[in-house]
Structure 1
Amino acid sequence: MPKQLVDPAREQALKILRKTEAALSFTKLLLASQEEAAASDLARAFIHQLVMGALRTRGTLDWALSRQSTTPLEELSSWIRNILRLGLYQILYLDRVPKSAAVDESVKLAKKYGHAGTAGLVNAVLRNSHREELLRAVDALPEDNAADLSVKYSHPQWMVEQFIQDWGSERTITILKNNNKMPPLSARVNALRTDRRKLLEQLEREGVQASPVPLLEEAVEFAAGATPWKLPAHEKGLFYLQDVSSMFASYCLDVRPGHTVLDACAGPGGKATHLAALMRNQGKINALDVHEHRLGLIRENAARLGAAIVETKEQDATEDLTPLFSGADRVLADVPCSGLGVIRRRVDLKWRLRPEQIPALVELQAKILERASECLKPGGLLVYSTCTIAKRENERLVEGFLSRHSRFEVDPHVPKPLEKYLTSKGFVQILPGDENMDGFFIARLRRL
């Protein structure tokens, strides 16, 4: 009997899911490499849909599979476990894929990456999985406890518990729902090279649909399915891909032409190049990063965008920075964080991140804030920002800093669109999905 050929797109999706589960690489990078190798735009789109969909719904899929199989998922190989997830995702969520095709293609993969026994298991589990029945069971789960919310909205239980502790049950449900939505693809207009009207006209000439974002004069949003990083306009440095919430950090720093600015954790350069545009390329921006490859990205982006005042230096921001960078007019500490505000964009983060990793992040953030603050001159502004919504990484950390440093105070004078997001302490906290933005935290501090 001739060997049955597997579907190349499904096989590529399986390989990406397996590598993601094994923490061998980031999903975004894997998708980019595999999509480039795919034979057609249709295949690339299908791979992306399978990978992102299976990751986004993995918690729900695993719960449903545990109801269908007598063999625990953890006892199966990573290959077979992810074949089951891919197959069930198609059955539950892809109306255009016939169940028979989802089952048959999954069995072919199981034969290639398993053996006759596991192929039989995949066949039995998926054939006995009925869409309406399983979706009704998920929908019927109560929303009054973290365990059921974890299954219903496909998040790790520890993460749901942390959200409830920080934000309460009602807001947590909203966060979970928004994390499972597709994020917009937005970009910042590079004011050093163009303006929004001209950029939109250029994009139209290049055959791409985009629209202005009302919140910010410099923001545009691309239509679904666009690949703007491949456009001539991108190569010419007319825009930088960036979420709107992240753009606000640079505005909160209130830079002026001629300022000296320290960007303590600058890679890959989105905010440093934005600051250069706001400063009209007049002054100096010291862009630091501890990783050489990220400094390379800063230099590449600065060159493409024409941000001539950005100077890079390999530097650990937890060490004394004052010998080289004291007396700065403005300091940005956009620190490494758990990323809990950008899960809708980095869906694999739900399954990569572990609660025991967060205390080390908090310690790192506190050290960077301490060192960065030492470089700010009296009267200057410091912005501490993260893309997380965890209070221990955000307001609690900044409150601890303020309790130790009486020469700093909160300055709540933020751009008008952010005023609605000011907390009682004067910090900005955007939650995932607020005005379709990513979750983001900003503390604006002034040195007395």
Structure 2
Amino acid sequence: MRLHRNLVFASIDALAEIFNDGKYADKTIQKTLKRDKRWGSRDRSFVAETIYDIVRWKRLYAEIAEVKQPFSREDLFRLFAVWCVLRGVKLPDWPQLEKTPERRIKGRFDELSKIRKYRESIPDWMDEVGVKELGEKVWTKEIHALNEQAPVVIRTNKLKTDPKSLADILREEGIETSNLNNYPEALELKERSNIFRTKAFQDGLFEVQDASSQRVAELLDVQPGMRVVDTCAGAGGKALHLAALMDNKGQIIALDIYGNKLKELKRRAKRAGAHNIETREIDSTKVIKKLYNSADRVLIDAPCSGLGVLSRNPDAKWKLQPEFLDSIRKEQAEILEKYSKILKSKGKMVYATCSILPSENQQQVQKFLKTGEGANFTLLKEKTILSSESGYDGFYMALLEKK
């Protein structure tokens, strides 16, 4: 691989924003990829993957390079040099990369790889929480899996097409996919590419949605004609899936505290041809109270630590703080207590998170069942999906029924 100066410099600039200014990696990468119109798809994928790689392995690389945050420009080039050496990329003779101690880098890597928190490049507190909640063996496997690059999985929009037809259409656009056993609507891309540019995407034939995430709407057991409330809808990935499972019949009320996310959901729903979704911003407690005892199904895709999706959001390792975990668990308990009241008797509810920690998952459900409101519910089934076992995001989901 020959390194091009403008691609490397663009990557260094982006890393400075992510590490020193606290910018989100995905947004920074999107902006960086628009920097030069002459870049081809190979150039863009080099920039995106290099940035994500260095973000993912920040702690390990910084230990090897013996640099500390905030990183100077020289420090960032040292991190980049470590990346090159460990990836077997030939170092160019640029002044910024002179005197790179290749043998020392390899030696330090071998030495640090014996210690999990360096080998998997995670903060001390995260390693401690993982061990405490999952045990040494499961955590070691899980954090290793969460450092793998996430595959790109799409969900076929059944309102407009079927998986076989979609695979054929994408093949004509130069994108090869494979079917996933046990995931009826999913296709996985054989090679990463910018699928948002395809005509198939613009025509609303699919959404990008991880295979594990596709399990959530399925579990809710919706039928056409029902009234369904998606309480933490965000930009609506699961609401769109529910609309397809309901054949556009019935009503989906998508709630969120962020109006801008609901605007995005409206745009996506229009593209997908999902006509039975109504958005409501939670700007006061009245919005929830109006819905009490009115829904056949309720989805609570709760805010969480996001530890199950580190493979697609590696910068979350550095943004998350232990005190956030405490506050999010409190918020999850409040949401369960409040939003469960939306359900009619004999209705069903799913509580889901993209976390792998029992304290956000099984323990939250058990705690809820012991509350006054929770005493009206029965746990029908629950499922924990580990990345190390599935190859996809880590997720938890529980199906509860109101008596």
Which category describes the TM-score, using the shorter chain as reference length? Answer: over 0.9
CA offsets 1:56-100 (integer angstroms, 9 cap, x no match): 21121122122xxxxx524x644333222122111222x2x213x
Q: Distance in 1 between matches of 2:282 and 2:257?
A: 5
Structure 2 equivalent of residue 135 of structure 1: 109
Change (3 A) 1:241 1:317: farther
Structure 2 equivalent of residue 439 of structure 1: 394
Following superposition, the deviation at residue 138 of structure 1 comes to: 3.2
Q: Distance in 1 between matches of 2:350 and 2:244?
A: 18
Q: 2:396 is aligned with what amino acid? A: F
1:73 equivalent in alignment to 2:68: yes
Which of 362, 385, 394 is residue 430 of structure 1 equivalent to?
A: 385
Q: Distance in 2 between matches of 1:163 and 1:359?
A: 15
Kept in 2, the 8 Å contact 1:245–1:440? The answer is yes
* Higher CA-based Rg: 1
Structure 2 equivalent of residue 410 of structure 1: 379
Overall identity of the aligned pairs, in % = 30
Q: Distance in 1 between matches of 2:285 and 2:101?
A: 55
TM-score normalised by L of structure 2: 0.93
Alignment of 1:71-110 (within 5 A): 73-74=68-69, 77-93=71-87, 95=88, 97-99=89-91, 101=92, 104=94, 106-107=96-97
SS of the residue 2:77 aligns to: helix
Structure 2 equivalent of residue 423 of structure 1: none
Q: Distance in 1 between matches of 2:60 and 2:18?
A: 18
Which of 236, 248, 257 is residue 290 of structure 1 equivalent to?
A: 257
Q: 2:375 is aligned with what amino acid? A: S
Q: Distance in 1 between matches of 2:164 and 2:150?
A: 24
Change (3 A) 1:23 1:77: closer
Q: Distance in 2 between matches of 1:447 and 1:159?
A: 36
Following superposition, the deviation at residue 155 of structure 1 comes to: 1.2
Matched length: 396
TM-score normalised by L of structure 1: 0.84
Which of 337, 340, 363 is residue 304 of structure 2 equivalent to?
A: 337
CA offsets 1:124-168 (integer angstroms, 9 cap, x no match): 5x33654542332234x2xxxxxx210111111111111111111
Comparing both chains, which one has the higher relative contact order based on Cα–Cα distances under 8 Å and sequence gaps of 6 or more?
Answer: 2
Structure 2 equivalent of residue 40 of structure 1: 40
Q: 2:391 is aligned with what amino acid? A: N
CA offsets 1:181-228 (integer angstroms, 9 cap, x no match): 111100110000000111111111111101111121101001222221
Structure 1 equivalent of residue 164 of structure 2: 197
Q: Distance in 2 between matches of 1:226 and 1:315?
A: 36
Kept in 1, the 8 Å contact 2:65–2:105? The answer is no
Following superposition, the deviation at residue 353 of structure 1 comes to: 0.8
Change (3 A) 1:356 1:233: same
Q: 2:96 is aligned with what amino acid? A: S
SS of the residue 2:387 aligns to: coil
SS of the residue 1:268 aligns to: coil
Q: Distance in 1 between matches of 2:183 and 2:196?
A: 21
Q: Distance in 2 between matches of 1:230 and 1:105?
A: 38
Structure 1 ranges of 4+ moved more than 6 A: 317-320
Q: Distance in 1 between matches of 2:397 and 2:183?
A: 17
Q: Distance in 2 between matches of 1:83 and 1:364?
A: 41
Following superposition, the deviation at residue 376 of structure 1 comes to: 0.2
Kept in 2, the 8 Å contact 1:410–1:446? The answer is yes
Change (3 A) 1:9 1:347: same
CA offsets 1:373-409 (integer angstroms, 9 cap, x no match): 0110000011010101122211111111111121111
Q: 2:76 is aligned with what amino acid? A: N
Farther-moved stretch of structure 1 (347-356 vs 311-320)? 311-320
Kept in 2, the 8 Å contact 1:236–1:305? The answer is yes
Following superposition, the deviation at residue 105 of structure 1 comes to: 5.9
SS of the residue 2:32 aligns to: helix
Q: CA RMSD in A?
A: 1.9
Change (3 A) 1:105 1:194: farther
Following superposition, the deviation at residue 320 of structure 1 comes to: 6.2
Change (3 A) 1:265 1:202: same
Q: Distance in 2 between matches of 1:317 and 1:252?
A: 29
